[in-house]
Amino acid sequence: MRRFHDEDLTDAEFRECDLSRARMVGVVMQGAEIDGLVTNLVVNGVEVMSYVEAELDRRHPVRLLLRSEQPDDLRVAWRQLRDDWTTTTDRVRSMPENSEHRGVDGEWSMVETLRHLVFVHDSWFRRCVLGLTEPFTAMGLGPPSVMGEEDELDPSAQTSLDEVLAVRVRQASEIETWLAGVTPDELARIAPVPDDERWPPYAKGRTVRQCLGTVLNEEWAHHRFCERDLDRLARQVSQCSVLTERRLTSPDHSPAPE
C-alpha cells in the first residue's frame, strides 16, 4: 500500500489511476474535481454517490431510459443520444476552424472521442451483441494496450469530422435496425461473444443487455465529456477575444506607422 503523508498535491492530476479503497484523512480538497467510475464514496461520514446519481438523473433524464430493461425505452434512449450528438456536431461546426480536433487538458478532441465510440460499437455491439468476428474499423480508437494488439487499428489515423461521422451513421443504422425488433427475452440472453482473446475478453458471460448497456453508457458519458470540453474551448476563445479587445483599445496601443 502506498502511503502519502503530509504531501502537497496541489494541482496534481491522476489519470487512468485505480484509487479503489483509497482513504483520505485530514485532507484539504477545495476546488477539486473527480470524474470517473465512482461508487460508495464517503465524504465526512456521508455516502454521497446516491445524491450525485440523483442529481445526474435530474439533469439528464435519458439516464433513466438507459437503465431500463424494456426495448421501447431503449429505442427512445438511443434516439435521444443520436439527437444530442447531432446538436453537438452542429455546435462544433459553428466554432472556430479545427475546434473538432482540439483537446482540452489532455482529453480527447471531439474527433478522437467519436473515433473511440466507433471502436466501442465494433467491440461491444458487433462482437458482443451480434457475435461477429469482423475486423475493427481502422479509425477506431481504443485503450493504448488494445491499439498495440489489434493490427487493423491505426493509432495515427488522420480522420476528418465528416469521415468519422459517415462511419457513425452506418453504425447507428445497425443499432436502430437491431433495436427495432429486439425482445426482452433476447436482451436477457447470454451474449454470443466470440470465443477468442480479442477485445473485450472480459465480456464473456455477460448478457446481451449488459453489453448493449456498455455501448449506451459510453455514448452518454462521452457526449457529456465532449460538451464539457467544447464549453472550455468556447471560454478560451471568449477570453482571447476580450484580451485582444483590451489591447486594441488600450491608450498605450497606437497604430503602426504607415
Q: Is residue 251 predicted with pLDDT exceeding 70?
A: no
In a domain, 98, yes or no: yes
Model pLDDT, residue 25: 87
Reduced to 3 states, what is the DSSP secondary structure of residue 42?
strand
Query: In Å, how far are 54, 97, 109, 110, 166 from 160, measured between CA atoms?
Result: 37, 12, 12, 10, 10
The pLDDT tens digits for 133-165 are: 999 999 999 988 898 888 899 988 999 999 999
Model pLDDT, residue 258: 52
Percentage of residues in the chain having pLDDT higher than 90:
70
In a domain, 96, yes or no: yes
Cβ atoms of 150 and 198 closer than 8 Å: yes
Cβ atoms of 167 and 157 closer than 8 Å: no
Give the residue numbers spanning the domain of 220.
67-243
In a domain, 182, yes or no: yes
Query: Which contacts qualify for 141-145: CB closer than 8 Å, 24 or more apart?
Result: 141/108, 141/112, 141/115, 141/116, 142/116, 142/199
Model pLDDT, residue 16: 82
Mean pLDDT of 227-232: 96
Q: Is residue 255 predicted with pLDDT exceeding 70?
A: no
Question: For all residues of the chain together, what is the average pLDDT?
Answer: 92
Expressed in percent and rounded to 5, the helix, strand and coil fractions of the chain are: 55, 0, 45
Model pLDDT, residue 230: 97
The pLDDT tens digits for 52-80 are: 999 999 999 999 999 999 999 999 999 99
Domain containing residue 193: CATH number: 1.20.120.450
The total of other beta-carbon atoms located within 10 Å of residue 12's CB is: 9
| Residue 2's pLDDT band (cuts 50, 70, 90) | confident
The pLDDT tens digits for 187-215 are: 999 999 999 888 998 899 999 999 999 99
The pLDDT tens digits for 162-188 are: 999 999 999 999 999 999 999 999 999
In a domain, 215, yes or no: yes
Q: Is residue 245 predicted with pLDDT exceeding 80?
A: no
Write the CB contacts of 75 (distance below 8 Å, at least 6 apart in sequence).
179, 180
In a domain, 206, yes or no: yes
In a domain, 28, yes or no: no
Q: Is residue 254 predicted with pLDDT exceeding 60?
A: no
User: Kind of pairing, strands 42-43 and 46-47?
Assistant: antiparallel
In a domain, 25, yes or no: no
Residue corresponding to grid cell 457529456: 224
Model pLDDT, residue 242: 58
Model pLDDT, residue 116: 98
Distance CA 43, CA 45 (A): 5
Amino acid at 52: V
In a domain, 237, yes or no: yes
Percentage of residues in the chain having pLDDT higher than 70:
93
Task: Convert 156-179 to b/e letters by CB count within 10 Å (16 or more is b).
Answer: ebebebeebbebbeebbeebeeeb
**Count of domains observed in the chain:** 1
| Residue 45's pLDDT band (cuts 50, 70, 90) | very high
Write the CB contacts of 214 (distance below 8 Å, at least 6 apart in sequence).
120, 124, 128
H helices of the chain, where? 49-59, 62-66, 71-93, 110-120, 144-147, 161-181, 184-188, 208-249
Model pLDDT, residue 248: 64
Cβ atoms of 237 and 92 closer than 8 Å: no
